[in-house]
Structure 1
Amino acid sequence: MTLQVCIMTPDRIFWNDQAEEIILPTNTGQMGVLTNHAPLITALDIGVALVRSKMEWMPVALMGGFALIKNNQVTILVNEAESSKQIEPEQAETAFTEAKTRLEEAEGEKQRVEATFQFKRARARYQVIKQLSAV
């Protein structure tokens, strides 16, 4: 038995297919989902989702949203989603390094909040590239 996973952004269906397992970046940490998972709605943080389909892992950068799990269907609604095919490795690494520096140098609450948001986005994209090379 498998999960039906659908990842949607505001402008398109990013991915819609069967998977054996998915690991989601929730606001309280990573959460694994297998078949026959209890019904659940959870908020998603900016981070990397891992989808296992046919014994291969596919990393996807998710930019915050929600996930609904019910009857072996996982519906993921996010602001943005990117796969490794859409991310330029050198650009992702540069953006991650710059975002990390901005976060370390941030002064004041507003700058820290903005720098943290940019850091999380850059880190998610960078981790997708690193996950791909580790798999």
Structure 2
Amino acid sequence: MNLQISILTPERPFWNGEADEIILPTETGEMGVLKNHAPIITGLDVGAMLLRIQGEWSSFAIMGGFAVVKQNQVTLLANEAESSKTIDADEASNAFEKAKKNLEQAQGIKQKVEANFAFKRAKARYQVVQVLNKR
């Protein structure tokens, strides 16, 4: 038996299926999960999530949330999720560059916090498109 993966967002169940491996963007860095992983609950950061299914990698942008790993089941409760297949590469690249400039030019705490969140979000979308293009 492989890992049973469920990705849930507030709007709908986003993805459900089996995978050989999952790499999660956690608040403490990337975390890989294989079959028979120890039980864990972890916070998800805004970032790129990877799934390996029969040797092929798929990438998704995850916009924070939580993950529960238990008995070869991985459940993600994500604020938002987006597949690399639905992201326009040029738009993601332009949004990433714009967000990077806005973060560099941000003044004051509130503007810096907002610019940092927008940057992380744009970076996640850009990263998942880059993973898709490298295959």
TM tier relative to shorter chain? over 0.9
The separation in 2 between residues aligned to 1:24 and 1:102, in whole angstroms, is 27
Per-residue deviation, 1:30: 0.2
The 5 Å alignment of 1:80-95 reads 80-95=80-95
Partner residue, 1:54: 54
Partner residue, 2:132: 132
Instruction: Give TM-score, length-normalised by structure 1.
Output: 0.98
Partner residue, 1:34: 34
Q: Secondary structure at the match of 1:31?
A: strand
Aligned length: 135
Per-residue deviation, 1:21: 0.3
The separation in 1 between residues aligned to 2:107 and 2:37, in whole angstroms, is 43
Partner residue, 2:123: 123
The separation in 2 between residues aligned to 1:11 and 1:83, in whole angstroms, is 15
Q: Which ranges in structure 1 are unaligned for 5 or more consecutive residues?
A: none
Q: Secondary structure at the match of 1:16?
A: strand
The separation in 2 between residues aligned to 1:54 and 1:10, in whole angstroms, is 29
Taking only aligned residues, the RMSD between alpha carbons, in angstroms, comes to 0.6
Partner residue, 1:102: 102
AA matched with 2:115: A
Partner residue, 2:77: 77
Instruction: Give TM-score, length-normalised by structure 2.
Output: 0.98
AA matched with 2:122: A
Partner residue, 1:111: 111
Per-residue deviation, 1:134: 1.2
Per-residue deviation, 1:86: 1.4
AA matched with 1:97: E
Q: Equivalent pairs: percent with the same residue?
A: 60
Partner residue, 1:9: 9
Per-residue deviation, 1:11: 1.1
The separation in 1 between residues aligned to 2:100 and 2:28, in whole angstroms, is 22
Runs of 4+ displaced beyond 4 Å: none
